[in-house]
């Protein structure tokens, strides 16, 4: 009993000892970085972390691992900095490592893990860490000159020139140690003057080694460039005018424009004189500052005008003056308080000071207008040449579209009236004079009674002739050109025929016209070729072709419709039987024709045995069918034979003795186009093939090495049915 209790107590003690050992196992302490703010670079990247831990000892396969958090202190994607499997009996040792080249942030932490057992230490305190990719000073816009000029009211962009790809930068203005808030890119848009520089952002502890050059941004003031004086200038002819800029500065380059075109050599040109020969236009001034900003300003326009009197005269440049007539020349002008003067052939006309001049004599006229207020300006009208006609020509022509022999009526009218002046000029005076003439129409140079207007209606082809017009005005008596009027008769020529099929010359077809006037000329055409001998309105023909009639009257020909006469096609008549008809003796065969209008069947005694489309044949003999299509006749001949009673022979002896020289088969197979006969030689090669076999094989001598060669035959119906087949032995 006591022994059992003692054993139980020993077991309880062992369990208690094991429990205490597990409760007080290895302890991984918080790692201690041997730095405060590491600034790693390609030239220096060696750092230490001290690590301590408490026993008992870890397992012999244990590895201590030093891990780095992300820049926010999170170990969700921890980076292994170092590992060591040789410190499993050392409770205080140093990790030596290098930082990754992508670290940049202010809240990194480290921790240590063991693998056997799997334990994780507390995290270290947060620390900033940066890897310095750039170990040189930055250069920014303005490097070298140190100045960037900007036009006032606009902006400029400063940018990092040598290392533009870093994650973040700091920009500074006016040497303020505090960076410009929010500006972390490689460029900076500047809208204020000042001194600017930049650096790569490596945090508060690692920055300062990449400061750039300092660039001064200068804002150029606005000059409000303008052209002195009024915006609108009226310049009298012959006067000069100078344009002047409101700013006179050698720091500016001046460019003067007229109607958008540069008119000076750019430079220091604050004033410019306009061209007195051509001053009118719209002028602007453009200035550019002579620095890197090259600020451009453009003035408001100045418009210079020269008085325009806008003088016009009422008549065209060439005017015809008919004897006894007068012409008024009227001046219209926009001049203020105008006065007038008139000139004839360059000489001043005394006393003619009104805006209207009445002309009764030929000459070259022009008017002069003088403006009475403002600029004193003279302006002349265009010249008006007033001439007397040397002669007058008139032409006549049909109104509208006209083509010879195409219309049945037309209207002739005055087409042109042209006056030829003494100087040889031709002037169109139709509008002026058409209603001033006295007219008389002529037919073949003979006056037409009552036709005294400027138009003439010709309404019938019988009036075809040469027409002209006599026109009289003042002392002019004019006869126009001759116009040859050719109208066609007002009839439609229609031809018809009593048939349209030619029966190989066996009968005539009559073609006639509905126009039969004996005074007309008639010409018949077959296939567009004139039939020389046919000159009447009717035609009898037995030839196929396309026929047309031309009717000529009063010099014009009218063509008829076309009639087609076709050659007769006898194949339209068909019969449902072959030319050789085989029937058993004592039976009959009904033969039927189609395609004709009428039918006649005759036996060999020329006795009509049927007048319908069908006939019943029961006797041997020759029969004839006469089929009528219109006036055309088709003849078909037939032979009726009784069916042979002998069998198809299987032996022939073609030795020219008149006995069995040919292979004669029963007539129910021979002479029938619906029956095909095929014969092969002893080697199976085809030697004969025909429909409607004529009992004519062999047609020549057959030579074979065999003494009695055997041939093979087949007799086949139209439906491809084998009616008979067998052998034929050839005996010499």
283-324 pLDDT, tens digit each: 999 999 888 778 899 999 999 988 777 899 988 888 878 765
> How many beta carbons lie within 10 A of that of residue 509, not counting itself?
22
What is the C-alpha separation between 636 and 596, in angstroms, rounded?
12
Instruction: Tell me the pLDDT band of 95, cut-offs 50, 70 and 90.
Output: very high
Angstrom distance (rounded) from CA 440 to CA 442:
7
Greater pLDDT, 348 or 154: 348
Sorting pLDDT into bands at 50, 70 and 90, what band is 705? low
pLDDT at 23 over 60: no
How many Å apart are CA 649 and CA 728, to the nearest integer? 7
Question: What pLDDT was estimated at residue 1?
Answer: 44
**In degrees to the nearest 10, what's the CA dihedral of 74, 77, 82, 84?**
100
User: Do the Cβ atoms of 731 and 652 come closer than 8 Å?
Assistant: yes
Rounded to whole angstroms, the Cα distance separating 103 from 110 reads: 13
Question: For 287, what's the count of Cα atoms within 13 Å in the CB-facing half-sphere?
Answer: 26
For the chain, give the mean pLDDT.
Answer: 90
Rounded to whole angstroms, the Cα distance separating 608 from 615 reads: 10
* pLDDT over 90, % of the chain: 65
pLDDT band per the 50, 70, 90 thresholds, residue 708: confident
Question: End-to-end CA distance of the chain, in Å?
Answer: 144
What pLDDT, on a 0 to 100 scale, did the predictor assign at position 12? Answer: 47
Please report which helix (H) or strand (E) contains residue 21, including its range.
helix 2-23
Classified as helix, coil or strand, 291 is coil
Q: Residue 23: which H helix or E strand, with range?
A: helix 2-23
d(CA 246, CA 227): 6
Q: What average pLDDT does the segment 492-500 reach?
A: 90
Of 692, 677, 683, 685, give the one whose Cα is nearest residue 722.
677
**Higher per-residue pLDDT: 368 or 432:** 368
Q: Are 405 and 416 in contact (CB under 8 A)?
A: no
Cβ neighbours around 82 below 10 Å, total? 19
CB 493 within 8 Å of CB 467: no
Q: What is the mean pLDDT of residues 460-471?
A: 96
**CB–CB of 709/681 below 8 Å?**
yes
pLDDT tens figures, 528-542: 999 998 999 999 998
DSSP 13: H
**Dist. CA 94–CA 680, nearest whole Å:** 114
Residues 6+ apart with CB under 8 A from 601: 608, 609, 610, 611, 615, 623, 624, 625, 626
For residues 654-668, give the mean pLDDT: 83
For each of the domains in the chain, give its residue range(s) and CATH number, in order of start: 27-132 (2.60.40.10), 147-220 (2.60.40.10), 227-305 (2.60.40.10), 311-387 (2.60.40.10), 391-485 (2.60.40.10), 495-567 (2.60.40.10), 574-643 (2.60.40.10), 651-730 (2.60.40)
| Cβ proximity of 460 and 380 under 8 Å | no
Lowest mean pLDDT among 456-460, 487-491, 585-589: 585-589
Query: Is residue 222 predicted with pLDDT exceeding 90?
Result: no
Provide the token pair at 128.
């900033």
C-alpha distances (whole Å) from 586 to each of 209, 290, 433, 589, 620 are 137, 135, 108, 11, 10
Nearest to 256 by CA among 243, 237, 238, 246: 243
Least confident of 33-47, 531-545, 589-603, 653-667: 653-667
Pairing type for strands 651-652 and 722-730 reads parallel
Q: Please report which confidence band the pLDDT of residue 496 belongs to, taking 50, 70 and 90 as the band edges.
A: very high
505 confidence band (pLDDT: 50, 70, 90): low
Contact by Cβ (8 Å): 394, 416: yes
The mean pLDDT value for 347-368 works out to: 93
Rg for the chain, CA atoms, rounded: 64
Over range 363-390, report the average pLDDT: 88
Q: Please, which pLDDT band fits residue 520 given cuts at 50, 70 and 90?
A: very high
Residue 352 has what pLDDT? 93
Listed ranges 135-149, 397-411, 418-432; the one with the highest mean pLDDT: 397-411
pLDDT attached to residue 627: 92
Distance CA 284, CA 281 (A): 10
Whole-prediction pTM value? 0.41
Distance of CA 448 to the CA centre of its chain: 62
pLDDT tens-digit profile of 604-645? 899 999 999 999 998 889 999 999 887 788 999 999 988 776
d(CA 547, CA 543): 10
User: Does residue 51 contact residue 94 with C-beta atoms inside 8 Å?
Assistant: yes
Q: What is the mean pLDDT of residues 557-577?
A: 91
List Cα–Cα distances, 373 to 241, 337, 354, 377, 683, in angstroms. 20, 6, 18, 9, 131
| 192-221 confidence digits (pLDDT tens) | 999 999 999 999 999 989 999 999 998 888
480, with CB counted inside 10 A (0-12, 13-18, 19+), is buried
Q: Which residues contact 447 (CB under 8 A, 6 or more apart)?
A: 440, 441, 470
Q: Measured between alpha carbons, how far is residue 206 from residues 38, 49, 164, 499 in Å?
A: 8, 20, 19, 120
pLDDT value at position 566? 86
Written as six digits, the tokens of 204 are 């508060």
Q: Is residue 250 over pLDDT 70? A: yes
Q: What is the pLDDT of residue 291?
A: 82
């Amino acid at each position: 009993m006591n022994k059992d209790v003692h054993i139980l107590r020993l077991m309880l003690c062992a369990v208690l000892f094991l429990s205490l050992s597990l409760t007080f196992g290895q302890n991984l302490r918080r790692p201690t970085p041997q730095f405060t703010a590491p600034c790693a670079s390609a030239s220096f990247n060696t750092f230490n972390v001290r690590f301590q831990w408490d026993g008992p000892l870890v397992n012999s396969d244990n590895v201590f691992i030093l891990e780095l958090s992300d820049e926010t202190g999170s170990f969700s994607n921890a980076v292994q900095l170092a590992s060591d499997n040789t410190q499993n009996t050392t409770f205080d040792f140093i990790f030596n490592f290098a930082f990754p080249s992508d670290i940049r942030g202010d809240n990194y932490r480290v921790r240590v893990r063991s693998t056997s057992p799997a334990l994780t230490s507390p995290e270290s305190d947060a620390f900033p860490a940066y890897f310095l990719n750039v170990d040189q000073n930055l250069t920014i816009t303005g490097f070298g000159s140190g100045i960037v000029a900007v036009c006032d009211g606009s902006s400029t962009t400063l940018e990092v020139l040598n290392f533009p790809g870093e994650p973040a930068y700091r920009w500074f203005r006016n040497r303020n140690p505090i960076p410009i808030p929010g500006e972390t890119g490689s460029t900076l848009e500047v809208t204020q003057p000042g001194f600017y520089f930049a650096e790569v952002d490596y945090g508060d502890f690692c920055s300062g080694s990449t400061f750039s050059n300092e660039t001064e941004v200068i804002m150029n003031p606005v000059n409000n460039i303008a052209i002195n004086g009024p915006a609108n200038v009226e310049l009298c002819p012959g006067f000069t005018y100078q344009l002047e800029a409101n700013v006179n500065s050698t720091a500016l380059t001046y460019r003067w424009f007229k109607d958008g075109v540069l008119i000076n050599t750019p430079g220091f040109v604050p004033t410019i004189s306009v061209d007195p020969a051509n001053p009118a236009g719209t002028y602007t001034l453009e200035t550019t500052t002579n620095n890197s900003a090259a600020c451009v300003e453009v003035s408001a326009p100045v418009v210079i005008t020269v008085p325009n009197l806008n003088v016009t005269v009422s008549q065209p440049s060439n005017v015809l003056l008919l004897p006894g007539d007068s012409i008024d020349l009227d001046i219209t002008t926009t001049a203020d308080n105008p006065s007038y003067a008139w000139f004839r052939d360059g000489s001043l006309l005394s006393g003619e000071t009104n805006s209207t001049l009445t002309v009764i004599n030929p000459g070259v006229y022009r008017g002069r207008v003088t403006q009475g207020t403002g600029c004193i300006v003279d302006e002349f009208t265009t010249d008006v040449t007033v001439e007397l006609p040397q002669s007058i020509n008139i032409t006549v022509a049909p109104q509208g579209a006209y083509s010879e022999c195409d219309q049945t009526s037309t209207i002739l009218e005055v087409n042109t009236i042209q006056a030829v002046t003494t100087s040889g000029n031709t002037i169109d005076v139709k509008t002026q004079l058409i209603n001033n003439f006295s007219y008389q129409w002529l037919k073949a140079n003979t006056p037409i009674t009552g036709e005294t207007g400027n138009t003439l209606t010709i309404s019938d082809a019988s009036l075809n002739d040469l027409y002209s017009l006599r026109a009289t005005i003042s002392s002019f008596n004019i006869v126009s050109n001759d116009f040859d009027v050719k109208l066609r008769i007002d009839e439609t020529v229609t031809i018809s025929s009593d048939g349209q099929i030619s029966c190989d010359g066996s009968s005539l077809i009559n073609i006639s016209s509905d126009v039969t006037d004996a005074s007309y000329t008639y010409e018949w055409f077959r296939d567009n070729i004139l039939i020389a001998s046919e000159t009447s309105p009717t035609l009898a023909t037995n030839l196929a072709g396309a026929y047309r009639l031309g009717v000529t009257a009063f010099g014009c020909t009218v063509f008829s419709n076309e009639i087609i006469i076709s050659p007769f096609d006898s194949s339209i008549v068909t019969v449902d039987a072959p030319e050789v008809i085989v029937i058993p003796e004592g039976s009959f065969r009904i033969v039927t024709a189609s395609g004709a209008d009428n039918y006649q069947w005759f036996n060999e005694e020329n006795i009509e045995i049927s007048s319908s489309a069908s006939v019943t044949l029961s006797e041997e003999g020759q029969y004839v069918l006469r089929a009528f299509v219109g006036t055309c006749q088709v003849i078909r001949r037939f032979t009726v034979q009784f069916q042979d009673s002998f069998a198809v022979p299987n032996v022939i002896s073609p030795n020219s003795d008149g006995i069995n020289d040919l292979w004669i088969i029963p007539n129910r197979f021979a002479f029938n186009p619906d029956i095909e006969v095929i014969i092969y030689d002893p080697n199976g090669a085809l030697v004969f093939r025909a429909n409607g076999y004529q009992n004519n094989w062999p047609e020549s001598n057959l030579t074979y090495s065999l003494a009695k060669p055997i041939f093979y035959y087949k007799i086949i119906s139209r439906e491809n049915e084998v009616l008979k087949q067998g052998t034929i032995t050839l005996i010499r």
